[in-house]
Amino acid sequence: MFGSEPPPEYNVLEDEIAERTGLLGLIRRAFGGETIRLPTTWYDPRQLEQVKVIDGNRVAIQATFTPLWDGEGNVGHVAAVFKDLTAERMQHELAEAERDLLRLIIQQSGDGIIVANADGVIEIFNPAAMLQHGISGLRAAPPDEWGARYGLETPAGQPLPLEDTPLYRALHGDKVVDGRWSVRRPDGTIRMLNGTSTPLARADGTRAGAVLIARDETERLAGEQERAALLERERLARAEAERANRVKDEFLAMLGHELRNPLAPIFTALELIELRGQVQSGRELQVIRRQVDHLSRLVDDLLDVSRITGGKVVLRQTAIRIQDVLDRAAEIASPLLDTRQQRLVVQLEPDLMVYADAHRLTQVISNLLTNAAKFSPHEGEIVARARRDAADVVIEVRDTGIGIAPDMLERVFDMFVQAHPSQTNERAGLGLGLTLVKSLVELHGGTVTVASGGLDRGSTFAVRIPAGVPDPLPVPAAEQQPRAASASKRILLVDDNVDAALMLGEALSFAEHDVVVAHDGPTALSKLAQFTPEVAILDLGMPVMDGYELASLLREQLGDSVLLVALSGYGQPGDRARTAAAGFHLHLVKPVTCNDVLAAIQHDRALPRA
């Protein structure tokens, strides 16, 4: 059985294998007079250390030790009977391994897998299925409760009849292929599923239950719906263009009125100067200065909106103190605050720093202070507060003014929108100030929000921008010259816009980089035979092969050695998340300057992607 014989010096009561497996004590009890049956155990005599056994087999044995009594009632010998169960044990362990493998497949499958027994009781609900249904554990239920328990609905959103449920049909012998239904999860979200259900039968043909394999097709179907909606979008776009034209006409009419408003007091003040003479003209000159400043800000707002919508605003970012920003913003808003006899309270945590354009951030805060002063009562109070919140700096401007109606909160940052022109004697302006605030804050990678308890309950505007100061700091854009990189890079630039690609390529070459330009994916790949790039700058929206596919192929050929930079006309958080998931290290929004690209190619890949 063991393929060897124990040497003469072998002593079963000193068998270290039996000792390691905890069986030696049982064997000794047999010598004490008990009949002992040992559980099935793997035994390999070659593992013995007390004696040397060269040959032998690893055997699964079941042993029985029976005491043999002598004439005096003492145990004279113990008979050991060994049964070889190696084949059975190996078959059992193989079956266990197969079950473990099947369990891993079910647990780690990306598709939802649900198994019910012949009575309809669900016994397996794998993690992917739990995610699809929005649950965190198996909650068994009889078939007539499946619909309510698991949120089963038709694709149209109606309750799914039990007889149409794929798993239920499989329990009754039907195989369902390409079944479609939806799931309303406990949080209210809806997932669209497609799947196959199959009856399960034992070897003798009796029913054992059914299995359902489901795939989440929500995103794919959403894409199809998006394509189907293109014609409707075109119709809506035409209607929106007509509406925008009407808004333009109304805006021009309002613009003429707004530009006339500051001119009237200017002329009046000049007349008073002429009447009184220069000696007594100080007050009138102050009026002229305020109104000229007002007119200047109106024109600046118009120009800034034009620049921002045209993508022409370039931030000159440096490390700046929030204290300096608030001081300068308060200085700009002080003429209006003084005229209305309003009190400005500044609450500031010490040593707050941000990486921002000082002029533009001051413009943001002064616009908010001016807005608060304009719509707050005379002798009212306005509070400006700055604080650190995790990795951000938050600047809040709170007033006790006329507030904002709930239906206007979502529109208050839209261009030309005036939240309450009829609720104050003050002119509401061009409706551009808050639009500028939002646009400039977003250029800094931040957000701005507004809260109000409603009319006559004041408003609070909160600006949130990242506090971090990157290293190295970019050169101010005012220099308007491509900066020299710290080391020359081999750059592959791929863009189907021929002029844009050639101009950017020339600028990068001027900055002493080795640049190869291509205008489509296949051409770019063909360049790899003679050129191994360190940086690949890829336009995402190319024909033939888009930037995502090209990036994947570049990674296959070059590995992780290449820095991937996406060029896109879209820069919302969802767009950046998609490029990050596709493996891009940075996401640049068109139009980009040479300085933008030069900063990108020095990117530290330890930073978060995109």
Torsion sign across C-alpha atoms 146, 147, 150, 152: positive
Structure tokens that stand for 554 in this block:
């570049």
Q: Give span(s): CATH 3.30.450.20, the chain.
A: 12-90, 109-226
Q: Are 365 and 395 in contact (CB under 8 A)?
A: yes
Amino acid of residue 355: Y
| CA dihedral of 125, 128, 130, 134, whole degrees rounded to 10 | -160
Amino acid of residue 439: S
Structure tokens that stand for 222 in this block:
């959403």
Q: Cis link prior to 143 (omega < 30° from 0)?
A: no
At 585, give phi and psi (nearest 5°): -90, -30
- Domain 481-601 carries which CATH code? 3.40.50.2300
SS3 content of the chain, % helix, strand, coil (to 5): 45, 25, 35
Structure tokens that stand for 569 in this block:
């006309």
Question: Across the strands, what pairs with 385?
Answer: 347, 396
Q: Give span(s): CATH 3.40.50.2300, the chain.
A: 481-601
Strands (E), 390-473: 392-399, 447-452, 459-466
Structure tokens that stand for 440 in this block:
């400039």
Torsion sign across C-alpha atoms 356, 359, 365, 371: negative
Residues of the chain with confidence (pLDDT) below 70: 1-4, 6-9, 45, 50-51, 53-55, 245, 248-287, 289-294, 296-300, 302-307, 309-312, 416, 418-430, 468-486, 569-572, 591-593, 603-610
CA distances from 208 to 116, 201, 256 (A): 9, 5, 82
pLDDT value, residue 280: 55
Classify residue 145 by its DSSP letter: G
Structure tokens that stand for 427 in this block:
């002119």
Looking at domain 12-90, its CATH architecture is 2-Layer Sandwich (3.30)
pLDDT value, residue 287: 66
Angle at 589 between CA 566 and CA 437, to 5 degrees: 150
* 236-309 has CATH 1.10.260.40 classification: no
Strands (E), 58-206: 59-69, 75-84, 112-117, 122-125, 152-153, 176-184, 190-201
Return d(Cα 121, Cα 296) in angstroms, integer.
76
DSSP three-state, residue 272 = helix
Place of tokens 């042993």: 63
The superfamily (CATH) of domain 109-226 is PAS domain (3.30.450.20)
Q: Which of 54, 31, 44, 33 is nearest to 2 (CA)?
A: 44
Sheet holding 447-452, edge to edge: 343-348, 381-389, 392-399, 459-466, 447-452
Return d(Cα 368, Cα 344) in angstroms, integer.
12
Classify residue 159 by its DSSP letter: B
What size, in residues, is the chain?
Answer: 610
pLDDT value, residue 602: 77
pLDDT value, residue 516: 96
Q: Give span(s): CATH 3.30.565.10, the chain.
A: 318-466
The secondary element (H helix, E strand) that includes residue 303 is helix 282-309
Q: Are 155 and 192 in contact (CB under 8 A)?
A: yes
Q: Give span(s): CATH 1.10.287.130, the chain.
A: 236-309
pLDDT value, residue 306: 62
pLDDT value, residue 426: 44
| CA dihedral of 537, 539, 544, 549, whole degrees rounded to 10 | 60
pLDDT value, residue 96: 85
pLDDT value, residue 485: 44
Structure tokens that stand for 229 in this block:
């909606």
* 318-466 has CATH 3.30.565.10 classification: yes
